[in-house]
A = this chain, B = another copy of it.
Amino acid sequence: MKVEKISELTTNRLSVYLRCLNELSAKGIKTVSSDDLAKRFHLNSAQIRKDLAYFGEFGVRGVGYYVDNLRQDLTKILGLDKPHNVGIIGAGRMGTALADYYEYSQTNFSVVALFDTDKAKVGQKVGNVKIHDIKKFEELVKKEEIDVAVIAVPAQYAQDILEMVVKVGIKAIMNFAPIPLKAEENIKIRTVDLTISLESLSYFLAQPTGENGKIMKPIAKNRRIKKK
């Protein structure tokens, strides 16, 4: 059996391509070449061809990609044609913000329950999503067919929560606690680090010019323009 390793960076890029293709489709564009796709969305055309080649031949020589076919293929590859039910653990600021965010995002993921230990929160609703006692986690996972858990608890509780989540059979976890979590090989944990996005702004602000996405090497001293 052939085993190929597809990195998270690749699947992230596939998600980005899919967004771009959705935009093109909305504009009525039928075909696109990798070069054109790269130019429009500031991507790397060689990377696009390489990424898509993982999954078989999508391109047609002289034409490029058929936008709608490629959209459908990527949607399937990314598993975005199948519905998933999400439980968010931690009904604090982050957990409730995420419940809100995902409720208004059009994805194949539905947030079906929030969980907390705080008795004052239990029974309340965030949008249409009810906050349950964490003790009812296993019961709700079965009843609501939850297959994805989002961990939004303080860092010090995150590993314990992860173990509880894995114990009831959930294999896909998104972690918003700002620490890396450990689990067995067959469990997928995606830790979302919101500081990385800030750091990319830091890079931009550190550049001598404000030009978007470009850095300029500093001008040699003798080329400075003298003030009169």
Contacts and interface: CB of A to CB of B under 8 A. Distances in A.
Interface residues of A, number: 82
Nearest to A109: B198
A80 B188 CA distance: 30
A79 B104 CA distance: 34
A118 to B, nearest CB: 16
Contacts of A194: 98, 101-102, 105, 192
Interface stretch (A24-32, A62-70, A129-137, A212-220): A212-220
Q: Is the interface of A mostly helix, strand, loop or mixed?
A: mixed
Copies of this subunit: 2
A171 interface: yes
Contacts of A84: 201-202, 205
Given A94-B101, A104-B178, A172-B205, A196 B12 contact: yes
A204 B172 contact: yes
Contacts of A11: 199-200, 203
